[in-house]
Amino acid sequence: MRKQIVNINNKKYEVRERKIREIQPLITEEGLSLFSDIQAFMAADDKEANVSTLFDAAFASFCEKGPEFFPGLTKEDFEEMYPSDIEELAKAFVNVNFTGVKQLVEKLLPIWAKVGDYAARSTAQPSRSDSQK
């Protein structure tokens, strides 16, 4: 089992690797409701007026769901965090739970980019029969 220590509010917190069955319930429609808030924000005509609403929803969702993702930290701990603390927690969570996937994606991205470039070039070039007409 992987683990990583992160300093949060002058306290050491250990982020531990979780089993898939422990992570899966956290990633549900309810758990990902923040994404629907972001989609609504992006679709809104007056984005400037909706910024504070989106921020409030994101912050409330994070403070509410944070303790589920990081057992041992309370809602109050999340309310007292600096943005850099949140960033470190997120990085640690990904590192201990998804290192293999992360390494695989990092290796596949350049390949996907080359395939995408090749596909774009092949569809953009006229065929010989078109250019001879």
> At a CB cut-off of 8 Å and minimum separation 6, what does 41 contact?
47, 50, 51, 53, 54
Lowest mean pLDDT across 6-10, 47-51, 84-88, 100-104: 47-51
Find, among 97, 52, 46, 43, the residue nearest to 70 by Cα. 97
User: What pLDDT shows up at residue 116?
Assistant: 74
Q: Is residue 61 part of a domain?
A: yes
Q: Is residue 103 part of a domain?
A: no
Q: Is residue 46 part of a domain?
A: yes
Q: Is residue 132 part of a domain?
A: no
Q: Is residue 83 part of a domain?
A: yes
Rounded to the nearest 10 degrees, the angle between the axes of helix 47-69 and helix 33-43 is 170
Domain count, the chain: 1
- Average pLDDT, stretch 93-97? 85
Q: Is residue 43 part of a domain?
A: yes
Q: Is residue 115 part of a domain?
A: no
Lowest mean pLDDT across 26-30, 75-79, 119-123: 26-30
Find, among 63, 56, 13, the residue nearest to 37 by Cα. 56
Q: Which domain holds residue 66?
A: 3-97
Q: Is residue 129 part of a domain?
A: no
